[in-house]
Amino acid sequence: MKIVVNNEQEKELVYRFLRAVNELDLLEDFEKVDEEYATEKSPQFLSSAEYTLLRDNLHILYTEIEVDETIKQMEFDDNNIVQGTCVDCGVHTEGFADGRTISYKEYLEIMNDTENNRCEDCYQRKIQLDDAI
Ligand SMILES: [Zn+2]
């Protein structure tokens, strides 16, 4: 099986996800939920045999994770996922004023760059100061 992602960060994420699926036997839990919510009108999504097939094959040992930059990046719908503390005034920050989506790669870069995190007011002040120089 091959899974294709946009970048190395996504590759690492999918790798860790597959490890969790395997080591925590998440497909067993998934199957239980599928059984529990199945009704006559809305039967199980997968049969017991299909869950067994996936459990035996959706494994990190048999899955190649390939990077291809032409594939769409994984994105968060809501940039409020980015949280931190403003380096200038110490206020808690959440998301961006522009409301754009944010990729997983960008999220990791921002969360690792705590020295440049600013609230909107301090960000605007810094832009004005930088322009004045
Ligand atoms: Zn601030």
Do 9 and 54 share a domain, yes or no?
Answer: yes
Tally of domains in the chain? 2
In three-state form (DSSP H/G/I as H, E/B as E, the rest C), the secondary structure along the chain is CEEEECCHHHHHHHHHHHHHHHHCCHHHHHHHHHHHHCCCCCCCCCCHHHHHHHHHHCCHHHCEEEECCCCCCCEECCHHHCEEECCCCCCEEECCCCCCCEEHHHHHHHHCCHHHCCCHHHHHHHHHHHHHC
Q: Residues 61, 99: one domain?
A: no
Are 60 and 81 members of one domain?
A: no
pLDDT, residue 132, reads: 85
pLDDT of residue 85: 93
Identify whether residues 95 and 46 lie together within a single domain. no
pLDDT at 50: 97
Question: What pLDDT shows up at residue 133?
Answer: 76
CA of 36 to the centre of ligand 1 (A): 49
Q: Which of 15, 32, 67 corresponds to the end of one domain?
A: 67
At residue 43, the pLDDT reads 95
Measured in Å, residue 89 CA sits from the centre of ligand 1 at 4
How far, in Å, from the CA of 132 to the mean position of ligand 1?
A: 19
User: Which of the listed residues 16, 44, 67 is the one where a domain comes to its end?
Assistant: 67
- Model pLDDT, residue 78: 85
Q: Indicate if 44 and 81 belong to the same structural domain.
A: no
What are the per-10-residue average pLDDT scores of the chain (133 residues)?
Answer: 97 97 95 96 96 92 96 92 93 86 93 89 92 83
Distance from the alpha carbon of residue 99 to the mean position of ligand 1, in angstroms? 18
* 87 Cα to the center of ligand 1, angstroms: 7
Q: Which of 15, 45, 67 is the last residue of a domain?
A: 67
Task: Provide the domain limits for residue 39.
Answer: 2-67
- pLDDT attached to residue 39: 95
